[in-house]
Amino acid sequence: MIHYFDNAATTPVRPEAVQAAVEAMTQGWGNPSSRYALGSQAAEAVKRHRAQAAAGLGCRPEELFFTSCGTEGDNWAIQGAVELGRRTGKHIITTAYEHAAVLEPCKALERQGYEVTYLQPDRAGNISLDDLEGALRPDTVLVSMMLVNNELGTVLPVAQAAKLVHQKTKALVHCDAVQGFLKVPFTPKELGADLLTVSGHKIHAPKGIGALYIRGGLKFPPMIRGGGQESGLRSGTEATAQIAAFAAAVEAGAASLEGDMAHMAALKEETLQRLTAQIPGLKRVGEGTAPHILAVTLPGYKSEVIVRFLSDRGICLSSGSACHKGKPSHVYAALKLPKKELDGVLRISFSYDTTLEDVQALAEGLKAAQEQLFTSLS
């Protein structure tokens, strides 16, 4: 039996999404750009699915553009924003613990002559609005701030930040909401975001589908030029099956959001209580308030060794973002943790289908790891 605690990395595809994808592949498989009936039916389906997804996100259908993933959406948002602001300046503000999909494009822009200010989190994982205000300049063209940190569960003050940015500058505000979508309640308008990224495989849709919200009225540059799909902003034949599955997952997740949030928050609290009670020395990392992510550390033990030990017992969790691929996490490093604590960090992430039995298996597995594994010399 598998006990899965890595939902921040990816989620199992929910039945509604599977059914929608199968129907699109077996019944509605026409090219939406074709003019005969089968193509027109596919085009109507994409239009319907866009409306479903937009309703779940809380925006207008014409503001939602399908992408292949969150990384593509982040890259498009950043590249497009700096292109739009090229006459204003070459200064960008982001946080030091954004996802690599934001940090790497920013680093690339630095090599092209842009200046990037990286806001540092405090030891609890929070970002200061005072630091943001102090970093704003007349030549700031973009502020990119994630909604929920993917390794700490910190909910960032995006709405307050956006208000500040729009009051003081002409900069655009981009929000990577990949870890926040269908985990915490928001709409792009409530956040004040001009651009906002979401991803399908974090919300029980398949991999290979995501979306970028582009505020209405913003004349945004295309990501891919070609046949004119996605209103000319992202050309290429639409991924109809993934789009159908994404819309179904959004609709189902939005309908049960309140209950799912309460369920995950309760399990998170129960997990923290059990682990701290049963495993001496285990500590929480940060003060993340998102209901689905809990970071802990077992000082003196190597997290990658614990992950392998638990995997052998059918328990899946991670030592940080899957995108690090074994490299040290820049997120936990940004907190300036002592080396023993940094080496032993584990990320536990929940879903609507996580159970108390899963939590019990995790507590027993970690206790066994502490008893059976040797501590490191770090």
Give the catalytic positions in this structure. 323
* Nearest alpha carbon to residue 202 among 186, 174, 180: 180
Convert 239-254 into a string of H (helix), E (strand) and C (coil). Answer: CHHHHHHHHHHHHHHH
Strands (E), 124-163: 140-144
For the beta carbon of residue 262, count every other beta carbon within 10 angstroms.
11
Spatial distance between the Cα atoms of 339 and 333, rounded to a whole number of angstroms: 9
State how far the Cα of 252 lies from the Cα of 17, in Å rounded to an integer: 9
Closest CA to 342 of 151, 78, 65, 90: 151
Token digits of residue 58: 């809380």
Q: In a 10 Å sphere around its CB, with 0-12 CB exposed, 13-18 middle and 19+ buried, how is residue 376 labelled? A: middle
For residue 251 the two structure tokens come to 């609709």
For residue 188, give both structure tokens.
């792009």
Q: What is the bridge-based pairing of β-strands 64-67 and 210-214?
A: antiparallel
Phi and psi torsions of 52, nearest 5°: -60, -50
Residue 255: CB atoms within 10 Å? 12
Q: Which residues of 39-73 are buried (b: 16+ CB within 10 A; e: fewer)?
A: eebbbebbeebbebbbbbbebbeebbbbbbbbbbb
Nearest to 357 by CA among 112, 3, 16: 3
- Give the residue from 102, 159, 157 showing the smallest Cα distance to 126: 157
